[in-house]
Amino acid sequence: MKPIKIFSTKELNAYQDKLDKVRMVAPERKSEIGAEASAMFGEWRDRIADVVAEANGKATTHTYTPRDIVNIAITAEAEMKRRGVTVANMPGTIVNAWSGLPTARAYKSAAIAGFACLERKTAGWYLISYDKEQCATGPGAEEKIRYQITDNAAEDIVRKSMKDIFII
């Protein structure tokens, strides 16, 4: 599969700005700005819809929707910023996400889950692959999201975590 751009950094910043404006503008303008933000989100979702639909087939449970994948990318960007990774060191970050499966003890078999691999490149977030994967069910089968980061991003995280801490 050829990587599909979900959104660029510039598009994400514009989307975040619109969401911030919705919180701060007069009530009569909220629906207008909210509609603009929804249209942007819908465009991102539509970019990956065909790939996700093909991989999911008829499956509707325990898989990701295009909306879920866009939200994973938005969340990953926010998580990297929260942890102190600079925008310059975000490229190279890879996010692997497995959709949740039944977690009750009664489920002691395998089921099909959605697996998405996203990568942060200089231009923005890309869907690298999406497929179904056989996973174990039962306790511990909830949604899993794993981050792989570059050495520079790890240094940013350590630098932020050690801020105001002095080794004696």
Q: Which residues contact 132 (CB under 8 A, 6 or more apart)?
A: 55, 56, 57, 59, 63, 112, 113, 114, 115
The reply to whether 166 falls in a domain is no
The reply to whether 117 falls in a domain is yes
Say whether pTM exceeds 0.95. no
- The answer to whether residue 68 scores a pLDDT higher than 80 is yes
> Where do we find the tokens 């509707």?
60
pLDDT digits (tens, 9 = 90+) for 108-140: 666 778 889 999 999 999 999 999 877 766 666
For residues 70 and 47, give the distance between their C-alpha atoms in angstroms, rounded to a whole number: 10
User: What per-residue confidence (pLDDT) applies to 106?
Assistant: 55
pLDDT digits (tens, 9 = 90+) for 34-57: 788 888 888 888 989 988 888 888
- The answer to whether residue 21 scores a pLDDT higher than 90 is no
For residues 151 and 143, give the distance between their C-alpha atoms in angstroms, rounded to a whole number: 26
pLDDT digits (tens, 9 = 90+) for 75-108: 999 999 999 999 999 999 999 998 877 665 655 6
- The residue type at 33: I
The reply to whether 168 falls in a domain is no
Q: Domain residues for 27? A: 4-161
User: What per-residue confidence (pLDDT) applies to 128?
Assistant: 96
> Where do we find the tokens 């692959």?
129
The reply to whether 15 falls in a domain is yes
The reply to whether 167 falls in a domain is no
For residues 137 and 38, give the distance between their C-alpha atoms in angstroms, rounded to a whole number: 35
For residues 154 and 168, give the distance between their C-alpha atoms in angstroms, rounded to a whole number: 23
The reply to whether 119 falls in a domain is yes
Domain count, the chain: 1
Is-contact 56 69, C-beta < 8 A? no
3-state helix, strand, coil in the chain (%, to 5): 45, 25, 30
> Where do we find the tokens 């179904």?
132
Kindly give the residue spans of alpha helices, DSSP state H, lying in the chain.
9-24, 27-56, 66-82, 151-161
Q: Which residues contact 55 (CB under 8 A, 6 or more apart)?
A: 63, 114, 130, 131, 132
